[in-house]
Amino acid sequence: MPFQLPFRFGSSSASTPMDSRARQSKMMEYDQPLVWVTLLLMLLGMVMVYSASISLPDSPKFANYVRWQNTYFLQRQAMFIAVSLVAGLFVFRVRIADLQKAAPYLFICTLVLLVAVLIPGLGVVVNGGRRWLSLKVFNVQPSELMKVVAVLYAADYTVRKQQYMHKLTKGFMPMAAAVGFVGLLLLLEPDLGAFGVIVCIAMGILFLGGINAIWFGGIGAVLVVIFGSIIALSKFRRERYFAYLNPWEEDNAMNKSYQLTHSLIAFGRGEIFGVGLGGSVEKLHYLPEAHTDFLLAVIGEELGLAGVLVVIALFYWIIKRAFDIGRQAIAIDQTFAGLTAKGIGIWIGVQTFINMGVNLGLLPTKGLTLPLMSYGGTGVVINCIGLAILLRIDYENRVLMRGGRL
């Protein structure tokens, strides 16, 4: 019997028992492949996180986790996935119209959290970055929350300002100011990777919403200059970029490009079908952050090119499905829902591309996790919330196309 979710939300209007059963049977329909692909990625990620982290308790850096032996990160990731599924089910029950109304307020609240991170005593410093707020049980990363909130806010803004999309001052500048303020807070953490993803989300949704093509091209050029200047004016970013250009130079290989070179070694060892699950050598304290940012390298070493291609194909399917759902929503005049769905596709696609590009040496090293798969509580929960919103949009599309009411 196929897995089914309790999608009975009811209606205030009176109806006969026969009509209720007919309506309920239609509402039970949802995108099962999207659910199963999401679950498959999370479960595969949990297995690989366990494999990548099994030796970490032997490291002095993780000595505090030795009491949990080798299953500490596995247990935590399993807990994160359980919380993510509960959060996803809760968010699925929220109507898209209600999310649209709440979008500006969610944006303001998340800005407050980004400010709170920078306050000494509130923000938690990890690996030199002040990006987390402690909730005792686990740390919350507001920059991850801002990604899904940016999708909702940009989509709501585009719908509200539709008549001004061809004007610079009324159409683009207010959104640019909001994203610029977010970027300032993220650069103070610092978290250039999250800022880049949020900029791509906002620009992508504005483009899909009909912003003037000339302004869009000019703005894109300005953003390239801004990001280039940020790299050029920051010594450690500049050194990291030049090390990326020549990772095998001896000094670079032992310092700024250490992660990149060991990631490439991991892929080289994996060849076509990998060395076998659990057989990675690079995870044995050679490749830093193997269970987070460089999880794909462990997948490449243990499961080979075949495993990496499967992961890429699953992410491609999710992204394509997001754009299909978005087009469907726009076709039935649900513009906010359609832009939100496509925004989720942009978010997952851009972050996945950056993470995979970094692992494969196509992009400079950046601290972005692989969505749904890498170790981390906030990231997995927020990814599931985003995909729950996508499922809700698809659900509402199906109800409306069958003549139902939400």
> pLDDT (tens digit, 9 = 90+) per residue, 231-280?
787 777 787 788 888 888 888 788 888 889 999 999 999 999 999 999 99
Q: How many domains does the chain have?
A: 1
Q: What is the mean pLDDT of the chain?
A: 86
- Check residue 17 and give its pLDDT: 43
- Check residue 14 and give its pLDDT: 40
- Check residue 9 and give its pLDDT: 39
- Cα radius of gyration (the chain): 22
User: Which residues of the chain are under the pLDDT cut of 70?
Assistant: 1-28, 62-69, 127-128, 137
Gap between the Cα atoms of 272 and 285, Å rounded: 24
Kindly state whether residue 139 falls inside one of the protein's structural domains: yes
Kindly state whether residue 146 falls inside one of the protein's structural domains: yes
pLDDT tens digits along 168-213: 788 788 888 898 899 899 988 888 889 999 999 999 998 888 877 7
DSSP state of 126: E
If residue 220 lies in a helix (H) or strand (E), which one and from where to where?
helix 213-233
CB 384 within 8 A of CB 92: no
Kindly state whether residue 12 falls inside one of the protein's structural domains: no
Kindly state whether residue 58 falls inside one of the protein's structural domains: no
Find the domain containing 43 and state its range. 32-53+71-402
- Check residue 55 and give its pLDDT: 84
Kindly state whether residue 312 falls inside one of the protein's structural domains: yes
Kindly state whether residue 27 falls inside one of the protein's structural domains: no
CB 133 within 8 A of CB 123: yes
Kindly state whether residue 115 falls inside one of the protein's structural domains: yes
Cβ neighbours of residue 383 closer than 8 Å, sequence gap 6 or more: 84, 348, 371, 372
DSSP state of 58: G
Kindly state whether residue 24 falls inside one of the protein's structural domains: no
- Check residue 21 and give its pLDDT: 43
If residue 132 lies in a helix (H) or strand (E), which one and from where to where?
strand 129-134
pLDDT tens digits along 46-57: 999 999 988 887
Tally Cβ neighbours within 10 Å of residue 126.
11
Q: Coil, strand or helix: which one is 60?
A: helix
Residue 223 has, within 13 A of its CA and on its CB side, a CA count of 19
Q: Coil, strand or helix: which one is 393?
A: helix
Model pTM? 0.88
CB 118 within 8 A of CB 189: yes
